[in-house]
Chains A and B, each alone.
Chain A
Amino acid sequence: MKFEIEFDAIAAISTSPGVGAISIVRLSGADALKIADRIFKARIKPSSMKSHTIRFGSVISDQETIVDQVLLTVMRAPSTFTGEDTVEINCHGGQVAARLILKNLIHNGARAAEPGEFTKRAFLNGKLDLTQAEAIDDLIHARTDSAGLLAVKQLAGHLSKYVHNLRQGLLEIASRIELAIDFSEEELDPYNPEQIISLLTETKRAIQLIIGNIERGRIIKEGASVVICGKENVGKSSIFNALLTKKRAIVSSIPGTTRDVIEDSVNISGVPLRLFDAAGIRQNTDNEIEDEGISRSRRAVQEADLVLFVLDQSQNIDREERELYQYVKGYPHMVVCNKIDLISSGAHVLPIEPDVVFVSVSALTGQGIDDLTQAIAQWIARNDPHFFDRAIAGNFRQETCLQQALESIRLSICSLREGNPPELAAVDVQAAIRSLGEVIGVVSHEDVLNSIFEKFCIGK
C-alpha cells in the first residue's frame, strides 16, 4: 500500500489548461527544494533562497538544455498552503512549457499529484480547519477534482477495467516465477524463462496500447496541439487566423513579426485544437528577443501533436527552408502550401516524406482552408474509424504509473534475457504490479500466492 504522505514531493500544473500569459507548476513536499535544485539554474540555488522570495532563472533538462525561462518562488514550511516546503514555478503560458517542466520534476524525484492532493496535504499538516471531519472525509475520498463529468467517469471506468485485466495477467506471470522459486520441488511445468519473456512482451504491448489510447483520450479532452511553422513571412500567422477565422496574430510582411508562440484554440470535428503560431525557426538572429522566441518554437515543434509546415508557393525553396524541413520532418507533420492565389514559382523541390499530407491553400482568399481543416480532422482520428471508441480517459498520474509499469517490465525482460535468475526479474515484475495497482488503487501481497494456489497443484 502506498501512502507516503509527508515524505515524497508532489507536483502538478496549478493553472487551468487554456490560454494565459503564464502557467504555474507547483511542487510540495519535504524534498521540494532538493528537487528544485536539480532543475533550476540561476545564480542562487532554490535551497539557498530565503523563504517567500522569487528568482529569475532557467529550468534545465537532464541534457542541460534550457526548457524555459521562469520565475521561481520558494516558500518554506510551515508557512505555506500545504504546510510543507513549496516551490512555485511561473513559466510561459500554455500547456507546452508547463508540461515539460512537470515531466522534468517527475524525472527528478517528484510524483504527479493526485487530484486534490495539495489540499489533502494542507489538511494533513493541520493548515486547514480540522473540525469539519465530514468535509475532510469527502475530500479525501474524492477521486477527481473538477472533472465530474459523467462521460469522463465512464471513460475512467474503461481504464480501470483494462488495467485490472493487465494486472491479473501480470499476477499470473509473477505466479509462474514464484512457482519456480517456492515450489521447485514439485513436479510442475518446468521454469521456462523464454515463455515468461514472451508473456511479459505481450503485457508490454498491451500497456503501450493503453498509453496510446490515453493519448487519444487526452486529445479528445484537452485537444491536440497543432503548431504552425515555417520560414518567416510564408504566411503562418495568416493561416493561423484563417483557421481561427478571427484575427489574432499580428500579421505584417516584416519577417520575424511573430516573436513568440501564440496560442489559441479552435474546435475541429468536436475536438479542441490548440493552435500555436510559432516564430520562424531560423538560426541565429541578431535580435535576442527573437532568438528566445525561436528556441521556444523549436520546443513547440518537439511537443506538438501535429506540425503544419508552411511553404510559400510563390517563392523558391531555399536552403534555410530545406534545413528547417529537415528539422520538422522528424515530427508528425503536414505540408501546407500557401499563397496559391499568387503565381507559382514552379520550384517546389522539397523532398517531402512519403505519406505526408500536402494541402494547397490561400490564407488570403480562404481557398483550400476547408481542405486543410478536413485533413487535420482526419489526422486527429489517425484515419482510425474507431478513434473515439478506443479513447480512454486517464490523468497524468495514471499515465505516469503506466509508464513506470512499462519501464519495470522492460527491465524484467532485459534481466531475463541476460540470463539472470528469476528472483531478480521478480523484483521488476512486482514493481510493475504495484504500479498498475496504483492506477486502480488495489494492493495486496497475497495476490500472487492466491494465483499460484488457484492455477497449480501444490503440495505433497
Chain B
Amino acid sequence: MTATFEYEILVVGGGHAGVEAALVGARRGHSVGLLTIRREDVGAMSCNPAIGGSAKGQVVREIDALGGEMAQVIDATGIQFRMLNLSKGPAVWAPRAQADRELYRQETLRRVESQPNLRLHEELVEELIVENGQIVGVATESLAFFRSETVIIAAGTFLRGLIHIGEERFPGGRIGERHAEKLSISLQGLGFRHGRMKTGTPPRVRKGSIDFSQMEVQKGDVPPPRFSFSTVQITQPQICCYTSYTNETTHRILLDNLHRTAMYAGRTQAVGARYCPSVEDKVVRFRDKPKHQIILEPEGLDNDLMYVNGFSTSMPKEIQDRAIRTIPGYANAEIIRYGYAIEYDFIPPIQLTPGLETRVVKNLFLCGQINGTSGYEEAAGQGIVAGINAVQRLRGEDFFIPDRSESYIGVMIDDLVTKNIDEPYRLFTSRAEYRLRLRQDNADLRLTRYGHDYGLINDERYEALQMKEAEIGRVRNQLDHITVSPESVNPVLSELESSHLRSKCALSDVARRPEVGMSGVKRMGYFCNLSEDVEFQVNLALKYEGYIARQDQEIGRYRQLEQKRIPDGFDYDQVKGLSTEGRMKMKAIQPASIGQAGRISGVTPADISVLLISLKNRKRKMIRNN
C-alpha cells in the first residue's frame, strides 16, 4: 500500500448520484472522499444533454426541496427550458431543460471542489474491504487504501462496461473511458447477485454540417420555467432544437444491416429498456410506422456538437453515416462521435433495504445506475437519499425512507427494492398511485421539512416554506367562510362571462368556477395581496378538491399497511400456509412492512393474511414470554 486515507463517508463515482451523495455528507460536517476515474468527468452527462421531463422534472424539484444540487446546476447552465404537458392539468406539468453539457459539468465540479469537508481523488476502485459483514474501506488500482466507516457506490454504467459499435466491441464505462472490472468482481465475491443491462446513445454531429432550413424549430418557453425553488432568474442565453423525421429509405438501410449489430447478431444477452429503444429497434418493432421523429439538440452554446435525439444506434459506423444522411437536413451530416450501445453489470436492487443500504454488507450503500435505473434524475434522487442515510448511519439514527405518497423518489426507491427490476428503470408519472399529490409545483410543500430535518435546508428557507403553507391553508379556509351576495359579485362575474349568482353563497363556490378562480376572487376585492405562488396552490386545491380528498383516503389506507412492520430477519420458513412463490419472493426481498410485501408480484392476498396471523401470534407469544 502506498497511501492510506481515512474518511467517514466514501463515495465511489462522480456522476449525478455520487455528487449528490458526497455533497450531503460534507454539508453535514462529515469528512467525505469522492473517488472518480477522471476529475474532468465529475458531473458529466453521458447521454442526453437534458434534465427533466415527465416525472423526472418532478424528481429534480424534489431533490431541490431536500437540499440537493441538480436543480440549481441546471438552472445555472440550462440553455432551453420548457414546461411539458401544459395542455394537461398542473398535476402532470413537468419542467425539462437542455443543458450546456460543458457548463453543466464545470458547474458541478466547481461545487464539488469548493465544498468544505469534501475531497476529490482520481482513483479506480478495485476492491471493497469488508470485516465482520461491515464495510471498512476500499482498495484502488494505485494501491491506495481508503478507510471509511461508510461507503456509497455510484458506479453508473462502469461495472464491466462493454461498448458495441457494429461488429466492434471494447471495454469502457463510457466512450473513451475505462471501465471498472475488478470492482464488479469484488462485489460478486462478497455475495451480491448481478445482472446485465444495456443502453445506448445516438451519434453527435457537427453543427456546421447540418441544413437547419429543412427542420422544424422547437423553442423554449418564455419566461423559462425554473427547477430550483430558490432560483431567481435563468441567465444563460436560450437556444432552439430542431425536429425532422426518418423515412422509408432510412428504415431500409437499418433493416438491411440488422445482422451487423450486437443485439440482433446475438452477441449480447443484456436487457435494454422498452421505452428507450434504438432506432433499429423502433423500425423492427413498429414496421408499419412510416417515420420516426428525430430531434437535434445543441450540446452547448459554444459547442460544435449536436445530439441526434431519437437516433440511438449500435450500427457500424459506415451504416450510421449512410442512414443518418437520408434524413432531411442531414444530407451532409458529419458524425463526430458515433452512436454506441453499452452493456454493464448492475446489482439487482432487491438486495437493498429501503434505505439503500445493502443487506449483505453493512454500511455499504448503492445508488444510481448500478441499481438498474436509467436517467440522471433517477440517479441523483437515489444519491441524495443514500447520502442522507450514510449520515444517519454514522450518527446511529433512523434511515430516511421516502414514502410513495410523498415523492417520486419514494415511488422509485420502493419499486427498486420491491420489484424485480428486469429492464433499466425509469420513472413515469403512471408509476405513482398518488400522482395528483406528487406535483412539480408542490415539491417544496412535500419535502422541505425533510431537507430541514436532515440538516440540508437552512432555517430561513424552512420558515419561509412554513409561512407559505400556513397562508395557503388560511386562504383556503377563509374562502369557505366568506359569504358573498349577488349584488357584490355579479358585476365581476359579468366581466368574466360567468353566470350570475341568484342568492348568497360561499366565496369558495364562486372561486371554484374555472372562469373565475383566484384571479377573479381578487377582482372582487378579496385577497388582493396574495402572492402568485399561494394563488396557484389555492387554485389547485379548489380544482382538484374532490379527487385529492379521494387520494388522501387511499393514502390513509396505504399508510396503515406501511405501518405494519415486519421485523428484520423474520423467518418466513416458520410460517405455515404461505404459497411457495410468495415465500420465495418475500425471503428474497425481505419486505419492511405488510404494505411493501403486498406490492411484491407473486405475493397473494392470502399470503398476506397468513403473514398477518403469524405476526400477531409472534407478538402474542412475546408478550406472554415477558
Q: Chain A interface (Cβ within 8 Å of chain B)? A: 1-7, 120, 123-124, 126, 130, 133-134, 136-137, 140-141, 178, 180-187, 191, 420-424, 426-427, 441, 444-446, 448-449, 453, 457-460
Contact = CB atoms under 8 A, between A and B. Distances in A.
Given A178-B428, A424-B547, A453 B613 contact: no
Contacts of B608: 1, 3, 5
A380 to B, nearest CB: 37
Contacts of B89: 420-424
Contacts of B276: 459-460
A134 B576 contact: yes
A181 B436 CA distance: 12
A181 B617 CA distance: 46
Contacts of A421: 88-89, 91-92
A406 to B, nearest CB: 17
A449 B601 contact: no
B84 interface: yes
Contact of A458 (B275, B312, B576): B275
B577 A445 contact: no
A186 B293 contact: yes
B275 A3 contact: no
A133 B430 contact: no
Contact of B292 (A6, A141, A457): A457
B431 A136 contact: no
Given A181-B54, A182-B429, A187 B293 contact: yes
A185 B84 contact: yes
B309 interface: yes
Nearest to B431: A445
Interface in B264-284: 273-277, 282
Contacts of B285: 457
B300 interface: no
A460 B312 CA distance: 7
Given A133-B577, A460-B295, 18 more contacts: A1-B603, A3-B598, A3-B609, A6-B612, A7-B560, A120-B609, A124-B609, A124-B613, A140-B610, A141-B606, A178-B429, A181-B92, A184-B84, A187-B293, A422-B89, A424-B547, A448-B430, A459-B277
Contacts of B561: 3
A424 B546 CA distance: 10
Given A134-B576, A178-B428, A423 B435 contact: yes
B609 A178 contact: no
B45 interface: no
Contacts of A141: 606
B119 to A, nearest CB: 38
A436 B220 CA distance: 43
A309 to B, nearest CB: 44
B54 A427 contact: no
Interface residues of B, number: 57
Contacts of B612: 5-6, 124
7 contacts: A124-B609, A136-B577, A136-B610, A181-B430, A182-B54, A184-B54, A445-B599
Can you list the 5 inter-chain pairs with the closest CB atoms, starting with the nearest? A421-B89, A133-B576, A137-B577, A460-B310, A453-B274
A63 B551 CA distance: 28
Contacts of B309: 460
B312 to A, nearest CB: 7
A126 to B, nearest CB: 6
Contacts of B310: 460
Contacts of A6: 612
Contacts of B312: 460
Given A2-B605, A140-B577, A424-B547, A459 B428 contact: no
Contacts of A460: 276, 293-295, 309-310, 312
Contacts of B598: 1, 3
A60 B557 CA distance: 29
B480 interface: no
Contacts of B477: none
- Name the residue in A7, A120, A182, A421 with the highest tally of chain B Cβ atoms < 10 Å from its Cβ: A182
B224 interface: no
Nearest to A453: B274
B452 to A, nearest CB: 30
B287 to A, nearest CB: 10
Contacts of B557: 4, 7
A360 to B, nearest CB: 56
Nearest to B600: A1
B587 interface: no
B617 A126 contact: yes
Contacts of A426: 430, 435
Nearest to B605: A3
Contact of B613 (A123, A448, A459): A123
B461 interface: no
Contacts of B576: 133-134, 136-137
A120 B606 CA distance: 10
B28 interface: no
Q: Interface centre among A124, A134, A185, A446, by most B CB within 10 Å?
A: A185
B5 interface: no
Contacts of B433: 445
B94 to A, nearest CB: 9
Interface in B413-439: 419, 428-431, 433, 435-436
B105 to A, nearest CB: 22
Interface in B463-495: none
Interface string B55-78: 100000000000000000000000
Interface string B545-579: 00100110000010011000000000000001100
A134 B550 CA distance: 39
B428 A182 contact: yes
A449 B431 contact: yes
B620 interface: yes
Contact of B88 (A7, A422, A449): A422
Nearest to A444: B601
Contact of A427 (B273, B436, B605, B613): B436
Contacts of B84: 184-185
B616 interface: yes
A118 to B, nearest CB: 14
Nearest to B289: A457
Interface string B580-619: 0000000000000000001101010110111011001100
A445 to B, nearest CB: 7
Contacts of B435: 423, 426
A125 B601 CA distance: 26
A449 B275 CA distance: 10
Contact of A130 (B293, B295, B599, B613): B613
Contacts of B214: none
Contact of A457 (B286, B419, B431): B286
Contacts of B277: 457-459
A420 B87 CA distance: 11
A137 B610 contact: yes
B53 interface: yes
Interface in B85-113: 85, 87-89, 91-92
Contacts of A4: 557
B560 A181 contact: no
A187 B294 CA distance: 10
A185 B577 CA distance: 48
A182 B293 contact: no
Nearest to A184: B85
Nearest to B578: A137
A413 to B, nearest CB: 15
A424 B576 CA distance: 43
Nearest to A419: B514
B428 A449 contact: yes
A459 B430 contact: no
Contacts of A446: 419, 601
Nearest to B278: A459
Nearest to B85: A184
